[in-house]
Structure 1
Amino acid sequence: MKNIPLSRAKRILALVIFVFSSLITVNQSLAQQYKIKTIVIDAGHGGKDGSTRGAYSTEKDVALRTALRLGKLINETLPDVKVVYTRKEDVFIPLYERIGLANKEKADLFISIHCNDMPVYSQRYISGYKKGKKGKKIPIYSTRHVKSTSTRGTETFVSGSGRIDEQDDAIKRENAAIFLEDNYKENYEGFDSSDPESAIILSLMKNTFRTQSLKFAKMIQDQYIGVGRINRGVQEKSLAVLARAGMPAVLTEIGFISNPSEEDYMNSEAGQAEIANCLLKAIQAYKLSVEI
Structure 2
Amino acid sequence: MTTLLLGTLPLLALTVLPAPDAVFQDQKQDTVRRNDAQEPDVTNDAPNQLRTVVLDAGHGGKDPGCLGRKTRESRVVLKLVLELGRKIKQEMPKIRVIYTRSSDHFVELAERSAIANRNRADLFISIHCNASPSSSRVYGTETYTMGLHKTQGNLDVAKRENSVILKEDNYQQTYKGFNPNSPLAHIMLANYQHAFMGSSINFAEKVERSFRSSADRKSNGVKQAGFVVLWRTTMPSVLIEAGYLTNPTEEVYLMSEEGQEEIASAIYKAFAQYKQEIEAGG
TM-score (norm 1): 0.66
TM-superposed CA distance for 1:37, in Å, is: 0.5
Q: Which of the numbers 224, 227, 233 marks the counterpart of 2:211?
A: 224
How many residues matched?
Answer: 204
Alpha-carbon separation, structure 2, partners of 1:24 and 1:265: 33
Separation of aligned partners in 2, 1:117 and 1:148 = 9
Which residue does 1:111 correspond to in 2?
125
**Aligned partners of 2:146, 2:106: CA distance in 1, in Å?**
22
Unaligned runs of 5+ in 1: 1-21, 120-146, 168-205
For residues 195-225 of structure 1, give each alpha carbon's deviation from its aligned partner in whole angstroms, at most 9, with x where no partner exists. Answer: xxxxxxxxxxx33x00000000000000011
Corresponding letter in the other structure for 2:85: G
Q: Greater CA radius of gyration, 1 or 2?
A: 1
Q: What's the counterpart of residue 202 of structure 2?
A: 215
Q: Which residue, out of 241, 244, 247, partners 2:235?
A: 247
> Higher helix fraction: Structure 1 or Structure 2?
1
Structure 2 residue 263 is the aligned partner of structure 1 residue 281: no
Distance, in Å, in 1 between the alignment partners of 2:63 and 2:256 is 23
Change in 2 beyond 3 A, CA 1:23/1:236: closer
- The letter of the residue matching 2:189 is R
- Pick from 127, 137, 147: which aligns with 1:160? 147
Find the aligned partners of 1:256 and 1:241 in 2 and give their Cα distance: 20
| In structure 1, C-alpha distance between the alignment counterparts of 2:66 and 2:93, rounded to whole Å | 34
The amino acid across from 2:250 in the alignment is E
How far the C-alpha of 1:245 sits from its partner, in A, is 1.1
- Listed as ranges, the matches of 1:55-94 within 5 Å are 55-94=69-108
AA partner of residue 155 (structure 1): E
Q: Following TM superposition, where does structure 1 have runs of at least 4 consecutive aligned residues deviating by more than 3 angstroms?
A: 22-27, 29-32, 164-167
Residue type matched to 2:267 in 1? Answer: L
Letter in 2 for 1:267: M
Tell me the amino acid that sits aligned with residue 218 of structure 2. Answer: I
Shift of the alpha carbon at 1:163?
A: 2.0
Q: Residues 116-195 of structure 1 correspond to what in structure 2 (within 5 A)?
A: 116-119=130-133, 147-161=134-148, 162-167=188-193
User: Secondary structure of 2:239's partner?
Assistant: strand
- Separation of aligned partners in 2, 1:102 and 1:159: 16
Separation in structure 1 between the aligned mates of residue 83 and residue 72 of structure 2, nearest angstrom: 17
Q: 1:234 aligns with which of 218, 222, 227?
A: 222
The 2-side partners of 1:164 and 1:98 are apart by 18
* Residue 63 of structure 2 is aligned to residue 49 of structure 1: yes
Q: Specify the SS of the correspondent of 1:75.
A: helix
Q: Tell me by how many angstroms 1:149 deviates.
A: 1.1
Q: Counterparts of 2:268 and 2:119 in 1: how far apart (Å)?
A: 20
Shift of 1:23: 7.1
The CA deviation at 1:118 is 1.0
Question: Matches of 1:98 and 1:282 in 2, distance apart?
Answer: 22
Deviation at 1:32, TM superposition (A): 4.6
- Structure with greater strand share of residues: 1
The AA in structure 1 aligned to 2:147 is: G
Equivalent-residue separation in structure 1 for 2:227 and 2:273 (angstroms): 25
1:260 and 1:25 map into 2 onto residues whose CA distance is 41
In structure 2, how many angstroms separate the alpha carbons of the residues matched to 1:275 and 1:51? 19
**Deviation (angstroms), 1:228:** 1.6
Secondary structure of the structure 2 residue equivalent to 1:70? helix
Q: Which residue pairs with 1:196 in the alignment?
A: none
- Compute the displacement of 1:269 (Å): 1.2
Unaligned 5+ segments in structure 2 are: 14-44, 149-187
